[in-house]
């Protein structure tokens, strides 16, 4: 039986995360699709927190990065988990390294774009 290749379709490579060379375990596909919009939103919060200047509150970003670190790993997206872990470390550090923050913010944006591409098409 051939798999559908529509964006975000259960069982499709895109719906399982196949666009990045990884896939969500089959049993977790429904949960992944349910959680995907929130993951995309959380990545945006983390990205914005990383872009904030010194002294600006980063608690929301730190909390979201911590959650993403675990959740993305649970779904098998190890690269995403590593990126979230880097963001968590930077946001939890008293040092403000603008270059490191900018680099990880870019990684968060790229990850967010990758995950957003898996969202079901909202135009239908």
The tens digit of pLDDT for each residue in 9-42 reads 334 444 444 445 678 888 889 999 999 999 999 9
The whole-number pLDDT of residue 122 equals 59
Residue 89 lies in a domain: yes
Residue 14 lies in a domain: no
Residue 4 lies in a domain: no
Residue 32 lies in a domain: yes
Residue 123 lies in a domain: no
Domain that holds residue 73: 26-116
The whole-number pLDDT of residue 20 equals 52
> Among 51-65, 87-101, 103-117, where is mean pLDDT lowest?
51-65
pTM: 0.79
Residue 69 pLDDT > 50, yes or no? yes
Residue 1 lies in a domain: no
Tell me if residue 1 falls in helix, strand or coil: coil
Residue 52 lies in a domain: yes
Rounded mean pLDDT, 50-66: 88
Residue 46 lies in a domain: yes
* Count of structural domains within the chain: 1
């Amino acid at each position: 039986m051939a798999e559908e290749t529509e964006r975000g379709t259960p069982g499709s490579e895109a719906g399982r995360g196949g666009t990045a060379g990884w896939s969500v375990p089959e049993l977790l596909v429904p949960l992944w699709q349910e959680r995907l919009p929130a993951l995309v939103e959380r990545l945006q919060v983390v990205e914005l927190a990383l872009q904030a200047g010194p002294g600006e509150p980063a608690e929301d970003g730190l909390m979201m990065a911590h959650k993403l670190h675990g959740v993305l790993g649970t779904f098998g997206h190890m690269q995403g988990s590593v990126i979230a872990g880097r963001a968590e470390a930077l946001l939890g550090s008293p040092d403000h390294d603008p270059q490191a923050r900018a680099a990880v913010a870019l990684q968060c944006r790229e990850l967010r774009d990758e995950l957003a591409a898996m969202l079901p098409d909202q135009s239908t």
